[in-house]
């Protein structure tokens, strides 16, 4: 059991193929990410960025080597502990049918109203929610068409903020937002990051700029690793 987590990550000789006889997609990757670091991952299509994120999210386990959190192999963590410590914010900012309140509290159904509101305020979506006719009771399906991509992204940030994981994985949306929304999403992201460990598959230059470290992945290998200013 790992009741609380600092958020130190380590990939050690992490190798992955999607099927036993398939090609190696990640090749003996060695990577240490200290707790609190924001890492932007960039690289051309098919390089292995999402695969790296999926190993951390435990959609898959490594074929060889290991991935560990605070020195504990992810395979030795219970699903519940992994879920508590490592959260993935999806590219599509996926909202489930139900109310906005339910969507934010997903994964923490016992959260109080004031915790939910505090999370929404923290990432900057409380006002927009209050502007909806039914506020937090708004059904995202009925209103879904009226929530913009940026608003949906902010609500998914509030969900992640409330879950309060030590490690955050974000596969950034490629779809472009208008400039005002992009600024709000950027601000929400910075607040969500706080001092968590974060692995962000970055598509926006503004995201790369706020990272502590940028990894360039090519063909399943880290080919560059440095501060954004050095790249």
Contacting positions for ligand ATP (CB under 6 A): 18, 25, 43, 45-51
Give whichever of 25 and 154 is closer to ligand ATP, judged by the CB atom: 25
Q: Which of Mg ion, ligand ATP, none is residue 207 near (CB under 5 to 8 Å by kind)?
A: none
Q: Least CB distance from residue 45 to Mg ion, whole Å?
A: 7
Q: Compute the least distance from the CB of residue 51 to ligand ATP, in Å.
A: 3
Specify the residue, 51 or 151, whose C-beta has the smaller distance to ligand ATP.
51
Please state the closest distance from residue 202 (CB atom) to ligand ATP, in A: 11
Q: How far is the CB of 203 from ligand ATP (least distance, A)?
A: 8
Residues within window 22-81 making contact with Mg ion, judged by CB under 5 A: 50
In Å, how far are 32, 45, 142, 229 from 49, measured between CA atoms? 16, 8, 34, 21
Give the integer Cα–Cα distance in Å for 120 and 155.
Answer: 7
CB burial of residue 122 (10 Å; 0-12, 13-18, 19+): middle
Angle at alpha carbon of residue 33, lines to 31 and 39, rounded to 5°: 100
Residue 47: name its binding partner from Mg ion, ligand ATP, none (Cβ under 5 to 8 Å by kind).
ligand ATP
Between 191 and 221, CB nearer to ligand ATP = 221
């Amino acid at each position: 059991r790992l009741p609380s987590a600092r958020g130190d990550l380590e990939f050690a000789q992490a190798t992955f193929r999607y099927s036993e006889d398939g090609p190696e997609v990640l090749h003996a990757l060695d990577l240490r990410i200290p707790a609190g670091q924001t890492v932007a991952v960039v690289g051309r299509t098919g390089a292995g960025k999402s695969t790296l994120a999926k190993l951390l999210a435990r959609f898959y386990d490594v074929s060889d080597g290991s991935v560990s959190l605070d020195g504990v192999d992810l395979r030795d963590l219970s699903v519940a502990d992994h879920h508590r410590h490592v959260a993935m914010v999806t590219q599509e900012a996926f909202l489930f049918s139900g109310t906005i309140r339910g969507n934010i509290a997903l994964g923490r159904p016992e959260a109080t109203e004031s915790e939910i509101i505090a999370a929404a305020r923290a990432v900057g979506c409380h006002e927009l929610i209050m502007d909806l006719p039914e506020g937090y009771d708004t059904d995202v399906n009925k209103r879904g068409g009226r929530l913009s991509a940026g608003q949906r992204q902010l609500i998914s940030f509030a969900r992640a903020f409330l879950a309060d994981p030590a490690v955050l994985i974000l596969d950034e949306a490629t779809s472009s937002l208008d400039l005002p929304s992009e600024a709000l999403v950027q601000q929400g992201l910075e607040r969500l990051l706080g001092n968590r460990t974060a692995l962000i598959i970055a598509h926006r230059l503004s995201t790369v700029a706020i990272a502590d470290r940028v990894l360039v992945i090519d063909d399943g290998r880290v080919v560059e690793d440095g501060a954004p200013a050095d790249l």
